[in-house]
Amino acid sequence: MPNSHPAELAELLRRCQVAAALTGAGISVESGIPSFRGVHGLWTRYNPMEYAHIQAFLDNPAKVWGMLRELDELIRQARPNPAHHALATLEKMSKLKGIITQNVDNLHQAAGSKNVIEFHGNARRFVCLRCRRQIDPATLDFSQTPLYCSCGGLIKPDIVFFGEEIPPAANRAAFDLAEACDLMLVIGTSAAVMPANFLPKAAKNHGAVIVEINLEPTELTRRFTDYFLEGSASQILSETVALLK
Ligand code: NAD
């Protein structure tokens, strides 16, 4: 597939009625949070399939909390990059209806995006697995993990581990937006994780044009993508916004 350019994307955004974005870990790499596919960082030491599975967390919370503590530290230090800001600007310009994110890092919200559907939860929220109470992170002592609630239940970041269900409200909102949009931007995701990777297919089946922004082709590219923009999300989205202004 030939590479497309920000000028084409700007034109598509000008012409479409309802644009939506689906984002993945790649959009936050330039904020210092490694993606699963990257060769550096956290995931070379912690195999995601081993550490990010709910059964592993329940079987050995101390081990998995070791990884979660490092992830929490990375996420707390991270700041939105130009790609997050560009999407927030597109929403303010009424050129983007909403973002469905697979990320748990809260960076879209930090950049000012309002309509953010958290498909896999949010690592800045914590929940007790026994009494289901939400727990304010300011009250937690991360040097003493695993963390337990005053009721004795195990505390878990409010993120969707492998083996867990997508929160029903987020799942519904995500598919509603995918089916309503006529342009979907698929940014920084390998589209290898189910069921998030059904979203571009749902959008396409309902007539949307699929635009992918990624450093490399993915499982979607050949079969579903109409326009492929190869390169860094921050560069491509910043250029696109500049052209639209
Ligand atoms: P992934 O790790 O499977 O794939 C990342 C994709 O981003 C790759 O295709 C890569 O080529 C692309 N990419 C990397 N840097 C990029 C850049 N600068 N610009 C554009 N594209 C870039 O990520 P995934 O598909 O999101 O699936 C992994 C799962 O793990 C998801 O559920 C994800 O949310 C979660 N996860 C989240 C975070 C986070 O919250 N930041 C970090 C790691 C993993």
Cβ of residue 216 lying under 6 Å from some atom of ligand 1 = yes
Residues 221 and 245 in one domain: yes
Residues 53 and 19 in one domain: no
Q: State yes or no: cis peptide before 195, omega within 30 of 0.
A: yes
Residues 240 and 136 in one domain: no
d(CA 131, CA 134): 9
Residues 141 and 234 in one domain: no
Which CATH number covers residue 234? Answer: 3.40.50.1220
Query: 31 and 81 in contact (C-beta within 8 Å)?
Result: yes
Q: Are strands 183-187 and 209-214 parallel, antiparallel or unpaired?
A: parallel
pLDDT in tens, 8-28: 999 999 999 999 999 999 999
Domain around 144: 34-77+122-159
Question: Could you identify the residue written with the tokens 């500049």?
Answer: 242
DSSP assigned state of 209: E
pLDDT at 105 over 70: yes
Task: State yes or no: is 120 an active-site residue.
Answer: yes
Which residue puts its alpha carbon closest to atom 14 of ligand 1?
Answer: 26
DSSP assigned state of 37: S
Cβ of residue 4 lying under 6 Å from some atom of ligand 1 = no
Measured torsion, CA atoms of residues 195, 201, 203, 207, in degrees rounded to the nearest 10: -160
Computed from CA positions of residues 132, 196, 49, 108, in that sequence, does the dihedral angle turn out positive or negative?
negative
Residues 62 and 12 in one domain: no
pLDDT in tens, 72-96: 999 999 999 999 999 999 999 999 9
Residues 28 and 39 in one domain: no
- Which residue in 85, 108, 120, 206 is the catalytic one? 120
Task: Tell me the CA–centroid distance for residue 61 and ligand 1, in Å.
Answer: 25
Residues 140 and 230 in one domain: no
Cβ of residue 160 lying under 6 Å from some atom of ligand 1 = no
Ligand 1 mutation pick, 35, 68, 218, 238, max ligand atoms within 8 A of CB? 35
Which CATH number covers residue 54? Answer: 3.30.1600.10
**Averaged confidence pLDDT in the chain:** 95
Task: Tell me the CA–centroid distance for residue 192 and ligand 1, in Å.
Answer: 10
Cβ of residue 159 lying under 6 Å from some atom of ligand 1 = no
pLDDT in tens, 106-149: 999 999 999 999 999 999 999 999 999 999 999 999 998 999 99
> pLDDT class for 40, splitting at 50, 70, 90?
low
Domain count within the chain: 2
Cβ of residue 197 lying under 6 Å from some atom of ligand 1 = no
